[in-house]
Every structure is written in C-alpha cells, then in structure tokens.
Structure 1
Amino acid sequence: MTLPLVPAQTGGATDPTGFVQSFIESLGVGASLAAPIAAAVVFIVVFVAIYLLGRVLVTPLFGRFLDRRDLDEHAKRPLKKVVGGVIVFIAIGIAFGLAGFGSILQSLATVAAAATLAIGFAMQDVIANFVAGVFIYTDKPFRIGDWIEWDDRSGIVEDISLRVTRVRTFDNELLTVPNSTLTDGVIKNPVAKDKLRMKFVFGIGYEDDIEQATDIILEEAEKHDDILDDPAPSVRLTELADSYVGLQSRFWIANPSRADFVRTRGEYVTDVKQRFDENDINIPYPQVDLSGGIEMAGPVAEAMARGEAESD
C-alpha cells in the first residue's frame, strides 16, 4: 500500500479535504464514498480544534479582562456565554470552508444575513436592551445592592441581566426595567462613592437670631456619630422666604445606603428641632395667601342674585 506523500492541491493552496480523501481512497474506499467521508472528517477535526483552541486561549484571556474590569460574577457569566457563542460560530465557519463546503457556507451566510436583517427590524427593542445591558456591565454605573434613582423612580438594584434590570422600590414593589431605559437617561447613584453629602434647609423666623440657629445646627451635626467631621458640616443662608429665613445645612456621611440616609437625616433634624424649641427659636408655619374675592357663576350665582333682588 502506497500512501500519498504530497497533499492534493487546489488553486495553489493545500486542500486538507483532498489530502484526507486520497488517504481514504488508498485504504480501498471508493471515490464516491471517500469524498463525503473526507469532508465530514475535516469538518469535525477543524471544528473541534478551533473550538478547543478558543476555549483554552480566548476564554481565559477574556476572563482575565473581565477580572480587571472588577465585574461581579453575575455580570461575567452572560458575557462569557456570548464569547463562547462567538467561538462556536467562528469554528463552524472555518470548518465549513476547509471541508470544501464553501458554496454551502456562502448560502448559509446569505440566508443568515437576510434573517438577521428581518430579525433586527422585528426585535429592535430587544437588541437595544441587549446592547444597553452590555454597556451596564462594562461601564458599571451601578451594581446589585446599589440605591439608584431615575426619572421619578428609585429603589435598590436586585438583579442585572442582558435585557432588563430588576429594582426593588422602597415600598417593596419589584420593577422590571428595560436596560435601554436606564442607559438612555440620567441615572443617579447616591452610593457609588464612599461618601455622600446631604442637605437640609431649616426655616427660622425673621425675629430669631441667625447666628444662634447656625451654631445649634453645626453643634448637632458635630455631635452625631454618623456625620463626618472631614469634610466638616457647614451652614449657609440660602433663602429669604415670605414667612421664614432658610438656613441650609450641608453634611457628609460615610458608606452611604438608603437606610443610612433616611435614618441619619431623621435623627439629625429631630435633634436640631429639639434644640430650637429649647432656645425659643421658631420654625414658622407656611403661610397661605387667601386674599382676593371668590367669583361664582352658573345656577348658584343666578339663584343668589334672585334672592338678593327679592330681598330688595
């Protein structure tokens, strides 16, 4: 038995399918049967080789890239699946080409392009949410457990997927938000940094001592355990309203969360209010202007007019 030492040539390039076919024919298999067997063998070998190469080289490299981005494990999982799908797609394409299925591959590419176009028009929102999900994973505007605010809504992020983000509101309602909604607008993430500055306006009467009220506001901020000394609290006169003078207190808390925000602000405002009461500093009630007349029309006005005419 003589084995071919030189692979078959196709268009000046080595043809692995022809090489395998020649080897199979040398084993006594007919040419009509050897050709499809050779193509199948080349397809399987090339696909497995490229797939394993991708899993051994590309997947770990991509995993290290995600680690450098400091992504959470839940965020890495779907992105790794996308990369795995791309590796499979590339392996199939190359295997088709080397196995001599170029015409089939070209036909499949044409069908896939047409199908992709049709699916793209039909699934624009889904694709937009998918792309937005990728940006959320890479840009990290928020993470699971963060308190976020957008439009007129707010809540705690419970889950992030490639299509939607699930947010638990402070009324314990679960919101399923399309990712494109969160990437198209402005998202407020108060807990993204280690410190959060809070503001509160205390209103005092015009006859009250501004310096005394300012001292009380600062003293209560400095006494509170959860309010930071650096940056130091500050007070500014920011408003001269109809019924009060507005003193805005600015103070910082560390490692903020929604619970810390509400609790700290509530305790601090309560302490200042008690000190104001002890020092006879007034917090005026809002005043509503009720001046002006009331104009009536319709049947009621006509009846009142008839009554006045009869009384005359």
Structure 2
Amino acid sequence: MSDSGQTIADETVSSLPFVTTQEQLLGLTVAVLLATGLLLAVLPRGIQRLKATLENATEREWGETLEGYLPVGRLTHAIVRLSQLAVVVGGTVGVLHLWGYESPIWYTIEILTAMWPTLSRMVASGVVLITAYFGGLAIASWMDSLSANTSGIDRHDREIITRVLQLTLLLTAVLFVLTLWNFDISGLLVGAGVIGVILGFAAQETLGSVIAGFILMFSRPFEIGDWIVVGDDRGIVTDITIVHTRIRGPNGEHVIIPNEVVGSQTIRNRSNENRLRFAVDVGVDYDADLETAREVAREAVDSLEIVEETPFPSVRIEELDDSSVVLRIRFWVDRPNTEKMWKAEDEVLEAVKTALEDARINIPYPHLRSVTDAKPTRDRQLVSSYEQD
C-alpha cells in the first residue's frame, strides 16, 4: 500500500477507532462503486430533465427545432455514453487510489503524456471528421427545409446542391486532417491533378455527363414531372441526377438517358406552359360545302370537355388529297401528357365523324376507277359473220 493510501487509512482509523483500516477501505470502495452506479443511472435522466427545463424556459420546442437540422437524438446518445465512460474511468481510478495501486495509474499517465502529440492529433482528427459528418446531415436537413419553403428550388436542385455542399465540406475536413498530420498538401494536389487527367481520358463520357448535369441544373430546361421529348424518346421526367435523366415512357417503360446525350439533343418541353395544342386531320368529299364542313367540325370540337375553350379550336384546309379535301383541326388541352393526348385525339375524331355524318357530309375513302378499251371477242366475230351471210 502506498503512503497516500496509508494516510487515508490512518485518518479514517483515527476518526473511527472501532473500525479497522481494512474495513474502512472496503466501505469507501463500496461507496465509490455505489456513487459510480448512481451516476451512470442518473445521467440519462438528468440530460432529459435539462432539456425539458430549457424548453420550458424558452417556451419553444428547441429540441424539435434542432432536430430539423441536426440529429439531436444521436448527439444526446453520444453525450450520455461519453459521460458514462468518464464516470466509469473516474470510479476505477478512485478505487485504485484507495487501495494504493497508484503505479498503474502513473504509468498510464506517463504513457499518455508521451503519446499526447499523436493522441491530440487523433482526437482532433476524430472531432473534425465527426463534425463534418453531422454537418453533412445538417446540410441535407437545411436544404429539405429550404426547398419546402422556396418555390424556386425543386427536388432536382435540392439533391445537387446538397451533394455539392456535402462534398465540399468533406474535402475541407480531409484537407484539415492532413494538415494536422503535417502532410504536404501541395504535392498531394499535384498528384491529384495528374490522376484527374488520367481519369479524365479514361472516363470522358462519364465526366461529360457530370458536366452536362451541372449545366442542366443551372439552365433548367425541364423539371421533375414535366412531359418532354428528347430525340426519339418521350415521357414524364421522374428523376434527374448529375449523371443521367430518367423518364417514364408512354408504355410504362423507364428510359435512362445520359445527361451528355440530353445536352446534345433538341429538348421539347410539352409541360412548360401547362397546355399544348394538338392537331388531327379529317377528309371530306370534294362535293361537300367546305364552309359548312368546317363549321360542323368546329362545333363538334367545342362541345368536348377535354378541349380548352380558349384559344378557340380552329379548322383549316390542309391539302387537296387524291380522294378528299383534308381539314386540319387544331385544339388546346390543359395539363397535357401522353395519355391525355391519346384521349383527346380519340374523342375529337369520334365527335367530328359523328357530326359530319349527321350533317350528311361524306367522308370519302380512297377508291380507284378503272377505264379500259373494249375489244371484240371471238363470239362477237362469229355473230357478225353470220349476220353478213
């Protein structure tokens, strides 16, 4: 037993003459262990109580407010566990000190002192990386809240801005950690530049798609939910990433188009104005009164609910076909998509056909008229010879 342990025992014995030193040490050990266990049990409840007190003092649910930006539950759990670990270490050191086993404690302190430069860097690196991790979570939560309250930021912009900010924060944290460990960042940047050039040649299409993704983010030719046509593909935009754009075709298939292809093609956005004009062709007979046919067709289209009242539907002569005069009927549809286009065209053609038939205006079909020169047959020649005889 060390001098300090003996001193504690002697003082205890002198104050309690009927209790031996061994019993006193056992009693103090039990007291330290009980205090340690009590602190371990009380810490979680104490932190929750502190949180409730702060909420009542500020009259607002600050915990729920912070939860929108930071994982408060995870942070609270980590603080509780670290506090409990500190209590366990403190209790262990106290028991060892009571029983005079101070040599392991001082030996451990000497080792920690010798390793302190390295340990401090490890602790600082851990703190920086953990801060960067929780900062990334806070950025994602902040962008979700910002996009929900700002009409100019859609899901596409939110995802890209979030990823860029998180990547910037992570790279900054990594460079800071490397600085702590005395790495030469200039040489690392030169090496990264060389590697970047090599990867650039090896993955030109991928990098092109990434660059095109950023261009699409700033130019905003379409958004998620728009009905677009890109080259030979058309459909509803379901997802936009930095690398590709996903659309759902009219038959339900999902088409994934690299952003490099999207940027090099002509893009037609059919949802940008929330309405679109369609056209169908109907042929009438050459003998029909064209003005009457146009008026009948216009009234038939006006009667349909799927067709917008303004601008008014129009009917004009498109061409003179071989068998009919072709009338082109143009009409507008609100909030168009592929299914609505098919439905509108079907209803317009059916209504115009019925109206023209009721007005006794013929819708001709292609037909041929054959004209041939008649040649005398053998029977006619015999009859003619008989009559001459």
Alignment of 1:247-286 (within 5 A): 247-286=327-366
> Which 10-residue stretch deviates more, 161-170 or 31-40?
31-40
Aligned to 1:187: 267
Name the CA distance, whole Å, in 1 between partners of 2:345 and 2:360: 22
Aligned to 1:206: 286
Unaligned runs of 5+ in 2: 1-108, 372-389
Contact 2:139/2:162 (8 A) holds in 1: no
Local SS of the residue matching 1:87: helix
Name the CA distance, whole Å, in 1 between partners of 2:276 and 2:233: 19
Corresponding letter in the other structure for 2:155: E
Contact 1:47/1:94 (8 A) holds in 2: no
Name the CA distance, whole Å, in 2 between partners of 1:101 and 1:114: 22
Name the CA distance, whole Å, in 1 between partners of 2:206 and 2:315: 49
> Which 10-residue stretch deviates more, 208-217 or 88-97?
88-97
Aligned to 1:70: 152
Contact 1:59/1:84 (8 A) holds in 2: no
Local SS of the residue matching 1:188: strand
TM-score norm. by structure 1 comes to 0.69
Contact 2:298/2:313 (8 A) holds in 1: yes
Per-residue displacement from partner, 1:135-172 (whole Å, max 9, x unpaired)?
Answer: 33443333344332222232333333332223332233
1:234 to 303, 308, 314: 314
Local SS of the residue matching 2:237: strand
Name the CA distance, whole Å, in 2 between partners of 1:61 and 1:146: 22
Name the CA distance, whole Å, in 1 between partners of 2:114 and 2:311: 84
**Deviation of 1:59 (Å):** 8.5
Q: CA RMSD in A?
A: 3.6
2:232 to 136, 147, 152: 152
Aligned to 1:24: none
Name the CA distance, whole Å, in 2 between partners of 1:65 and 1:154: 28
Aligned to 2:195: 115
Corresponding letter in the other structure for 2:220: K
Contact 1:228/1:253 (8 A) holds in 2: yes
What count of residue pairs does the alignment treat as equivalent? 263
Aligned to 2:172: 90
Using a 3 Å threshold, how does the CA distance of structure 1 residues 84 and 209 change in structure 2: closer, same or farther? Answer: same
Corresponding letter in the other structure for 2:193: A
User: Going by fraction, where is strand more abundant, 1 or 2?
Assistant: 1
Name the CA distance, whole Å, in 2 between partners of 1:274 and 1:87: 67
> Which 10-residue stretch deviates more, 132-141 or 223-232?
132-141
Local SS of the residue matching 1:109: helix
**Deviation of 1:226 (Å):** 1.7
1:219 matched to 2:219? The reply is: no
Name the CA distance, whole Å, in 2 between partners of 1:169 and 1:55: 35
Local SS of the residue matching 1:282: coil
Name the CA distance, whole Å, in 1 between partners of 2:134 and 2:229: 44
1:143 to 220, 223, 235: 223
User: Going by fraction, where is helix more abundant, 1 or 2?
Assistant: 2
Contact 1:69/1:138 (8 A) holds in 2: no
**Deviation of 1:32 (Å):** 8.7
Name the CA distance, whole Å, in 1 between partners of 2:112 and 2:354: 101
Name the CA distance, whole Å, in 1 between partners of 2:119 and 2:370: 95
**Deviation of 1:46 (Å):** 6.3
Using a 3 Å threshold, how does the CA distance of structure 1 residues 54 and 268 change in structure 2: closer, same or farther? Answer: closer
Aligned to 1:197: 277
**Deviation of 1:266 (Å):** 0.8
Local SS of the residue matching 1:167: strand
Alignment of 1:39-58 (within 5 A): none
TM-score norm. by structure 2 comes to 0.57
Unaligned runs of 5+ in 1: 1-26, 292-312
Contact 1:71/1:137 (8 A) holds in 2: no
Name the CA distance, whole Å, in 1 between partners of 2:146 and 2:220: 17
- Sequence identity (%): 27
